[in-house]
Every structure is written in structure tokens, then in C-alpha cells.
Structure 1
Amino acid sequence: MKKLGIFLISAITVLGLSCSDENELALTPLPQNTITLTNAFSNLNFTSPLDLQNPNDGTDRLFVAEKGGLIKVFQNEESVSETSTFLNLSGQIATENELGLLGFAFHPDYSGNGFLFVYYTPNTSEAVVSRFKVSEGDVNQVDSTSETILLRIPQPYTNHNGGQLAFGTDGYLYIASGDGGGSGDPDGNAQNLENLLGKILRIDVDNEDAGLEYAIPADNPFVDTEDARAEIFAYGLRNPWRFSIDLQDNTIWTGDVGQDQKEEINLIEKGGNYGWNLLEGTSCYKEADCAVDGTILPLYEYGHENNDKSVTGGYVYRGNNVPELNGYYVYGDFISGRIWALDKSGNNQLITESGLSISSFGIDADKELYLCSFDGKIYKFTLAD
């Protein structure tokens, strides 16, 4: 078995970077014990919050999704004490195990068209991506009759559902889907290009192809591949629980939850195969020896020591309040509550041991970074006194 350092060099090579580029990508080491978490909205409480988004419409509002089916909206002010229900799906979703309302995103022209896109599980056997429209008479409420289901993704089990949505600078909607669940991807979904499971998908929500509520981008990697779904952008993922697009350089960062041994951070490339279930991280999963040709290995992986067992993908920090973090990808672990900062060279540094159940990260209109925790609180990153 090759050592991690060799695998990191291999991954960098796959991404088209030379060894000299690797050094150029290394950021200045973070000063120790200078970054901390504070309760961003001490008067607010949420129930299993797992996504935070802003609409970039000039209103300085934040929106938080709860697993049970609500999206709540409130002003981005520390003293805020009330939220409004923006969307209520609580009566029409399944929430067993890892099911529920799992992610949402605002259209890049939300201020003009009022479109919101939501990923949720209406029952135990499928996930849907739907488009909603804000109410004409209330900017803090969705028109409940406006739903258009764009995409249906069969779910054979009640775990590994993915659910993150994000728009790229290309204007397309990117969608994360898990492998459908079950231990070890028993149906081989992640490596199967004929289904949408274990993938990053990309669709054009501003146009429609015949028979679809969306269009397929002409440069999607499998458009002309026989027996492959044209929506697929990348594949070979187990449960990409939270990805983000760094709009400064268009890099797609994804945390992929591991099986028994490895958690991984991937830089997603168009057409890339990230190895699951042949590989778990950089290790062969089932066989002592496995073919890794054509796969892209993680930029970084970590084991299950220190109670680290479930990676939660984050964001590259581009805010102003914590300049030391600028350019670092910040992510955490749902089980241990530890939070790290990673650069493109694979240099990983521990920020803090929060002890929180970290379900998600998010950014506001000023690109400041927040953290959603299952203790019902939203936290922000600040400099320690």
C-alpha cells in the first residue's frame, strides 16, 4: 500500500499541477489559538439545522434549513430574536434516518426571478430536486403552490442521500447525490454511470430539453457516452455531505463521508472518478489489491482516530473578519466536532476542537463563515481576544 504523501502527489498530478505548483499552493501556517467560534445569534434556536444560505439580493437576510422540513429566514443581526417560516415542507417529507430536507440554493438572479431550489426526500424511496418561487406579496415566504419537480433520484436505502445544491459561475446548478446507502454500496451505484447515485450532477435550470424540466449543459462530460446519464459531472462518491464552489477560482471542494476507515476531501474535476467503492480514500476498500487507474485520489484524508468519523464539507474562506483564514478550506467532523483548515497543497491544520455536532457550514453576503450545529445554534468564526 502506498503512503499518503505519495497519493497526495498523485492527486496533484491528476489535477494538472506540477511539484513546483504544490509549493506555490501552500498558504502561510495559521497562528495557534487565534481563531474561535462564537454563537452568532444567541436569541435564536433551530431544530437540526443543516444548511445556511444567503440570497445575495441586498437584503442581508440569512436562511437556515431544518432537517424536519422548514426553511427559516431572519435578518443577519446579532441581536435578532425572531425568524419567519420561509418554506414549510414538514407535512410532505420523510425524515427517517438521514432523510429529510437536505439542502437548498437560490438562483443567481434570485432578486429578479425569485427562484429557490430545494433537495428533499418526499418518501423513503426517492429524493427530488424542486424549484419554488417566492410569494409575490411576501418576500419572506415561498408560494407553496409554485413547486416544479425538476429531478427524481431513486433512493434504495434511507442513508447516503447527499443533498447539497450550489450554483457555479457558469450559471448551472450542481447537485450532490449519495450512493443510495447500504453498507459498502452493495449495488455498485457510485461506479455505475447509468444512474444518478454517488455523483455530482450538473444541470441547466434556465432552459429545457425535450421531456425534461431542465436542460443538459452541452459540455457535460458524458453527454455523448452510451449508457451514461448526461446529468453526471463527476462520480465515484460515497456520500458527498456538503460541497462548495469557491467562486474566486471555480474550484469545487467536497467532503466525502467514509465507510469504516477514511474520511476524504476531494477537488472535483469534470468527468472525474473518485474511486468509491473500489477505494475508500486512498485505500483499497474490499480487495487487498485494486485497480486505481483512472481514479482521482483525495487531496486529503483522515482516519477514525480521535473519534473523527464523519466529515462535513465546508467552504474556502473569503471573508474579512478572520484574515488568517483567507484562502483556506475550512471543514469539520460531525462526530468529533473538530474543525480544520486545508490548503491546496494538502497542508491540514487543526483550528479547534468544538465538541459540536457539525452538520454544515455556510456564508453570508459578506462571505463570512458560519457553522450549523445540531445543538440548535449557528456559530461564526472570529479572532480570539
Structure 2
Amino acid sequence: MAVTTFVLSALFVPTASAQDLPVADPLPTPGASGLGLELTEVAQLPESKPVPPPTDARLRRHNRINYLGEVPDGSGRLFVPDMNGKLYLLDHGVQHAYLDLGAVVGPDFHSHRGLGSGFGFTAFHPKFARNGKFYTVHTETGSALTGKTPDLPSANSVVHGVITEWTATDPRADVFSGTHRELMRVGYASFIHGFQEIGFNPNARWWDEDYGLLYIASGDGGIGLTTTLPQDLSLPQGKILRVDPAGTNGVNGRWGIPRSNPFVGQAGKLGEIYAYGMRDPYRFSWDSRGSHKMFLGHIGEKAVDSVYEVRKGANLGWSEREGNWAYRKGDPSCGVFPLPADDAKYGYTYPVAAFDHNRLASSRPCADSGNALMGGFVYRGSKIPSLRGKYIYGEGVKGLIYYAEERDMRAGKPMATTREMMVYSGGQLTTLKALVNDPNRVDLRFGQDADGELYVLAKANGKIWKVTGARTFAACRSGHDHVSGATSARSWQPVTPALWQFPGREVVLAQPGVARPGPRRPFEYAVLKKGPEFGSVQIDAQVRLDTPVAESNRDVIIVFGYKSDTEFYYAHLSSDNKIYPHNGIFVVNNADRKRLDLQWDEARSVGAAPAVTDTAWHRVRVKHCADTGEIAVYMDGSRFPLMTAVDKTFASGRVGFGSFDNIGRLRDLRVHGKGVR
């Protein structure tokens, strides 16, 4: 009886519920889009340095350019602020310093500590051509901390964020001359997450209530993760503020509080607040030629970075929520958790797009993940039709460019799918890391001109590129030679004929192959003998994995570019994507198979999403462009490639089907290409 009691007790040991465990992988890695941006270099701005020299290597860059916009006066001049102190103008290819803000501010100008320190942003008034007014953000320390008082509640300040209004005597001049006045000063509790972007709604016309109102993204000062500050409506930190620079009913009479702001007249709440619950609201923009919605690129804490549709009075949830998940202050995992069952009662606004940090397993739980979402723009320009309606944004550290369809970005609806874009320069596929010649940190930013055309900036080398086109990956014409209906044994040459069956409409690998001498490569496959060798080729077929799902490491392969048993390409379609040999694009060139696909993340040991996870039939398409070496693999009719690669080892060859050590089958094979005879 005692033994029975012991067994029953063991069965009822309490275990942690899913609600109590952090979400290990909140979001899938953005998949490939098959779409690439053509970048054309337009400028490289001068080298600059913070003063005094910073100890943080992340601030030691070529310069710290962080935005590009167009002066709203019809001149076509572009403006670019450098956080190290100067505002530059690009006047149809000619660049010059327009304003040395750092010199004007003097010794209190702070740029050497904190990623957001220095000359943070510039916004030109929509009437700049007539009134000469523009606005800047910068940070101050030194004597400012004791000699100047913040305008809004700012306890325990170690740095001040300052918004200044400048009035140019001649708005058309190449160099600023005029007057300036301090508009607003707010203190922050650390050197990060202060004032970020400021700007005017470009959709507002002179008769709209929003016209001429200045939006101000104010971060949480780096302390939201341990406090309720972002949720406190009596404080300006962790909020988007909206003020009238021409008004006088704000503190000290230097700005106005719009009557339509959501918390005007409510006791204990700042009338300047437009939306709240933010950690680092880094960049916002409006879909000015489309939905007119305001989108915010928000940098998360340790797990998720998000894009929000910002509406008046919205609460984005920080620091109770991070992205679509619950955040728990003080949790040692620094992770995110499932939402509580009664979440709806809180009324939080959740993201319309997002990506997670994909932390390495070897990373300390609360260490900096090295990710930062760079908010961008919905493309509504006229030059690149394939980009229209796409919200283009990115990850700034690694220099990855993403997009989500604006039509799918709806507050209160499931998040839009985010996909990664490729980068081309001079017609050649490249990466931003390669363009800036820095494998560690790109410091990507975005810009936009008055025509809605996009720009890419990088602090790593201080260069600016214009997005001048878009390319579809592996878009070559395959040719007019065609093979189909090849299901008889005489059409195929297997490695081991006894393992294969040809029952009529299918090609069946009925028994698993075994490893053979020579380089590591698929154990068993059959090469299509019917028809010619192909150069550029498109292979369409249906495949099925007959190995039971319960077994691990299941795969079938599509062979192409086949020259010999030790010279060919293959696409490995697997139910596993966690080890090097699985679920990728490979080349065998008289040596062990080598992985080629761009989706493989060696540091995390993970590749593209598993291609085949069951025993059902799946459609597969493989495209190989011989001239460019571009290879793309598509599954189940998706217009987005699951895997992509670039390699020119083999410009032609035959196609085939097989596996390493599993069984499976193929049907409905169609091969289109340029025959090589």
C-alpha cells in the first residue's frame, strides 16, 4: 500500500503551467520575400566624432547620421542631421553644413554617452518656405543639469532632452542665419531612450486641427523595465506628445496644448500626451498617400520589436506588455509570457507587425540582444510599382531590410507577415554589411523625399543610398525546352536501381539508400535521362515523404545541375531545420556537400522553416538561373521562396530526385529550361 501511495504522489507533483513559462520563440524569423532593393549611392557625409571620445565602441562610427528628409519648400534640398552636432543639406548632389547645433549649444552639448545622445532629429515646419521655422532635438548635461529646470516632471534627471525652435532669416539660404528659442526641456533618468523623432503630420492641411502640431516621441529614459513610468499619465516619459509650437497655454507659455488631445483637462494627466505605454518610440511616419495612418517603429526590451498603428489615446502597453505578450518586471529570464485570460479588459493596443530577437542559446538571459527596429515608411512613390503599399522598415544593427503589406497592418487584427528583402548594388546581390564593410554593425536608418522615394543610411560609413529600383530574385527566363510525363524506368538512371519502383504515374524510392564512398552527399537518387541537360531551369513537381512522421531527420531531395555523382546541386526538403545538412540548398563539388542558402543562421543553427512535415503530397518548384547563379526553392504554390542561394559552380546539368536515407515519391514532374546540347 505504501508503494501505491508513493506512485500516486509522484504523478501529482505540480508542474509549471504554460502561463508561467516564458515564450521561448515568440515569432518566426521573417521569411524570404524574393524581392530586392536596388541601392544607388548618392552621398557620403563627412567623418565626425563625439566629444569627448566615447568609451562605448558603438558610438565610434564614421559619423552618426540618422535620418534623411526633404526641406518642404519645393527646392528639392534634402536634410540630414548628424548626432555628433551638425545639420547637413544635400542640394542636388552638393552637400554642405547648414547648422552646427553642437557649437551653438556649447559645452553642455552631450554626445559621447548613450546611443541616442547628441543631435537627435530635425523637423521642418510645413510653412518653412514662408516662416523659416524648423525644430531640433538634442541632449544636454554639464551645467544644464543644475542651471536649467525641465518644463515637465522629470525626477532624477541625468540628462536633459531639449527641443529648439529655429527661425531662419532667409529660408532659401545655404547656411542658417537667424534666431532660436528653447521650446521644451525634459529630464531623463539615464542616457538612453530620451527624445527621439519629432515631426509634423504631412497629411494635415491648413484647415485641419492637426496642421502645424508637433509630434514628439519621448522614450522611457531606460527605466520603464522596472517602473510603471510609461503607464503614468502625469509624466511625459514613455509617451508620444503633441503640442502647438505657436501656442502659449503650455508650461511657461512656450507651446500650446491642442484642445483635441485625449487627456486635456483630466486631473493628474498631462494634456500634452497623445499616446502612451512606450519604451523607445524611435521612429514614426504617416502613410501620407494611402491610408494616412500613423505607424511607429518601437524598439523592445529583450524579446520583441514592434510596429504599431498609433491612434489618439492609445496605450501600447509597455511596461506591462512587450509586443503581443505579457512582460513581468524582475523576471530573471527577461522574456515575455502568454497574455492573461482577462487581457481584453486592459484595452492595450497591440502591434501590426513585429519581429523577435532570436537570442542565441549561449547568451545570458538579460544581456543586450543586439537588435533594434528601425521604423520606416509605406512606399507610395511612383518610380517602383512593385514596392507600392509596402511598409519598409528594418533591423538597424545587422542592416536587414524588411517589409509588411500596409493593407494587412490593422490595429486589433492579427499581425501582418514580415518578410526580408534582398539588397542589390550595381546590379549585384550584396548585403548592407558588405556595402559598409563592417561585419558587426551597420547602424541602418531610413529616409524619404517629398516624392515618396526612399533612402537608406548607415552610420558605419556615413553613406546614403537612394532606392532606385526593385528586383525579383531568380526571375530569369528558363527557356523553351520542356520535359514532362517522365515516369517510366527507362527515363531514369538511379544510383541503385533495385531500390526504385516505377508504377506508372509516380517515381518511387521504395527502400532507403545507404552511404557510399566518396564525399558526403545524398545516399540515393535517380537522374532524369529523358530530354537534354538544362542551363537555366525551372523544375515543378509534387513530392511525398513516405517515411513515418515519428522518425526524425526525414528528407527528400531535388537534384539539378547534375554533372556526375560527385558534381551537382540539390535542394534538401526536410522536416527538420536545426542542423547543417537539413532543409537547405547544397552543392557537391568533388567534396563534402556545402550549404549555400542565405537562410541558414550558423550562430543559431537554424534555417528556413521545415519544407515537409507530414506524409502528404507537396508541390515544389526549384528555379536556377545559370547566368546569375540565383537559386530559389518554393513550396506549395507560395509566391515567396522558402530558400534562396547564389552560386555559379555549375552552369548546366540534369535534374533528379532522391533522399539521403528515407523513402518517398515524385509525380507530375515538369521541367522547363534552356537545353544544352
Report the TM-score range of the alignment, normalised by the length of the smaller protein: 0.7 to 0.9
1:202-281 equivalences under 5 Å are 202-209=242-249, 211-248=252-289, 249-281=291-323
Preserved contact between residue 320 and residue 326 of structure 2 (Cα < 8 Å): yes
Q: Quick check: which has more Rg, 1 or 2?
A: 2
Residue 13 of structure 1 is matched in structure 2 by none
After superposition, the C-alpha distances for 1:258-308 in whole angstroms (9 at most, x for unaligned) are 111111011101000000000111111116565642100111121112877
**Stretch deviating more after TM superposition (41-50 or 92-101):** 41-50
CA contact (8 A) 2:380 2:388 kept: yes
Q: Does 1:129 align with 2:172?
A: no
Alignment: residue pair count: 358
Give deviations 1:70-129, integer Å, cap 9, x for gaps: 10112133xx4x423334324341111121111110000000000011111122521011
Q: 1:138 to 1:317 in 2, by over 3 A?
A: closer
Secondary structure class of the residue paired with 1:83: strand
Structure 1 unaligned spans of 5+: 9-29
Distance 2:373 2:84 in 1: 21
**Pair 1:304–1:31, CA change in 2 (3 A):** closer
| Amino acid in structure 2 at the alignment position of 1:119 | V
On the 8 A contact 1:242/1:360 being kept in 2, the answer is no
- Distance in 1 of aligned mates of 2:200 and 2:276: 18
Partner of 1:55: 71
Q: Cα distance 1:137–1:167, how it changes in 2: closer, same or farther (>3 A)?
A: closer
AA partner of residue 125 (structure 2): H
State which drifts further: 59-68 or 282-291.
282-291
Q: Does 1:363 align with 2:448?
A: yes
Do the aligned partners of residues 242 and 280 (structure 1) sit closer, same or farther apart at CA in structure 2, a change above 3 Å counting? same
1:33-76 C-alpha deviation (Å, 9 max, x unpaired): 44222222258767210121211211111111001111011213
The question of whether the paired residues in 2 share the 8 Å contact of 1:162 and 1:239 is answered with: no
Which residue does the alignment assign to 1:188?
A: 228
* 1:309 and 2:322 aligned: no
Deviations 1:150-187 (A, max 9, x none): 111111100012410110112211110111114x5333
TM-score by length of 2: 0.50
| Counterpart contact for 1:159–1:180, Cα < 8 Å | yes
Q: Which moved more, 1:106-115 or 1:243-252?
A: 243-252
Aligned to 1:36: 38
CA–CA separation in structure 2 for the residues paired with 1:162 and 1:136: 28
Tell whether the 8 Å contact from 2:136 to 2:165 is kept in structure 1 after alignment.
Answer: yes
RCO greater where, 1 or 2, for CA within 8 Å and sep 6 or more? 1
Task: Check conservation: 1:363, 1:370, Cα contact below 8 A.
Answer: yes
**Which position in structure 1 is the counterpart of 2:420?**
350
Instruction: Identify the range of structure 1 (190-199 vs 92-101) with the bigger mean alpha-carbon deviation.
Output: 92-101
Partner of 1:153: 186
Give the letter for the 2:243 counterpart. I
Tell me how far 1:364 sits from its aligned partner: 1.4
Q: Which runs of 5+ in 2 are unaligned?
A: 1-17, 48-61, 142-157, 205-209, 330-336, 360-368, 409-415, 423-430, 437-441, 472-677
Tell me the residue number matched to 2:426: none
Percent identity for Structure 1 against Structure 2: 29
Which residue is equivalent to 2:662? none
Structure 1 residue 318 corresponds to structure 2 residue 380 = yes
Instruction: From the superposition, tell whether residues 305 and 37 of structure 1 become closer, same or farther in structure 2 (CA, over 3 Å).
Output: farther
Aligned residue in 2 for 1:294: 347
**Structure 1 counterpart of 2:196, from 121, 143, 163:** 163
Report the Cα distance in structure 1 between the residues aligned to 2:195 and 2:39, rounded to whole angstroms: 26
2:183 aligned with 1:141 = no
User: 2:287 & 2:120 partners in 1: Cα distance?
Assistant: 21
The counterpart of 1:373, out of the listed 436, 443, 458, is 458
The change in CA–CA distance for 1:282 and 1:43 in structure 2 (over 3 A counts) is closer
Q: Is the 8 A contact 2:243 2:272 kept in 1?
A: yes
Determine the C-alpha separation between the residues in 2 that align with 1:43 and 1:360. Answer: 14
What is the root-mean-square deviation of aligned Cα atoms in Å?
2.7
- The question of whether the paired residues in 1 share the 8 Å contact of 2:307 and 2:354 is answered with yes
Structure 1 residues 44, 151: closer, same or farther in 2, change over 3 A? closer
1:384 positional shift: 5.0
Deviation per residue, 1:135-162 (Å, 9 max, x gap): 3397122236x22111111111000124
For residue 316 of structure 1, report the CA deviation from its aligned partner.
Answer: 1.1
CA contact (8 A) 2:384 2:470 kept: no
Provide the residue aligned with 1:22 in structure 2: none
